[in-house]
Amino acid sequence: MKILALVGTNANFSYNRILLRFMKKHFKQMADIEIYEISKLPAFSVDVPLEEQTEVWKLKQKVKEADGVVFSTPEYDHGIPSALKSAIEWLSYHTEVLKHKPVMVVGVSYGRQASARSQVQMRQILISPDCDANLLPGNEVLIGGASRVFSKDGRLINADMRDNLEKCFTNFVEYIQVFQNIDEEEVKMPIKRPTISDAYINFPTGRMTLKEVQQIFSTIPFEIDLVDSSDRFAWYSDKPNREHVRNVASLNEPITECHPPKAVPIVTKIINSFRDGEKDVVTRPLWMHGHRSLIQYYALRDIDGHYLGTIEFTGNVEYILNLFENGAWGDKPDATTGASNNGANEEGNTTAVVDASTGASQSSSDDNAAPSAPAEDGNDDADASTGASESGSVDADDESADATTGASQN
Chain residues in the site for other proteins (CB under 8 A): 9-12, 39, 43-47, 76-83, 85-86, 88-89, 92, 117, 121, 124-125, 128, 130-131
Q: In Å, how far are 106, 144, 292 from 316, measured between CA atoms?
A: 61, 71, 6
Phi, then psi, of 211 in degrees rounded to 5: -65, -40
Distance CA 83, CA 90 (A): 11
Element (H, E) at 226: strand 223-228
| H or E segment and range at residue 265 | helix 264-275
223 closest CA partner among 273, 269, 279, 288: 288
Residues 6+ apart with CB under 8 A from 302: 308
CA distance readout (Å), 152 to 147, 148, 155: 9, 9, 7
| Centroid of chain to Cα 68 | 25
**What is the DSSP annotation of 366-398?**
STTHHHHHHHH--STTS-HHHHHHHTT---HHH
Rounded Cα gap, residues 297 and 228, in angstroms? 13
Q: What CA–CA distances, in Å, run from 148 to 64, 78, 116?
A: 36, 22, 18
Classified as helix, coil or strand, 98 is coil
The amino acid at residue 90 is: W
DSSP secondary structure string, 32-60?
EEEEEEGGGSPPP-TTS-GGG-HHHHHHH
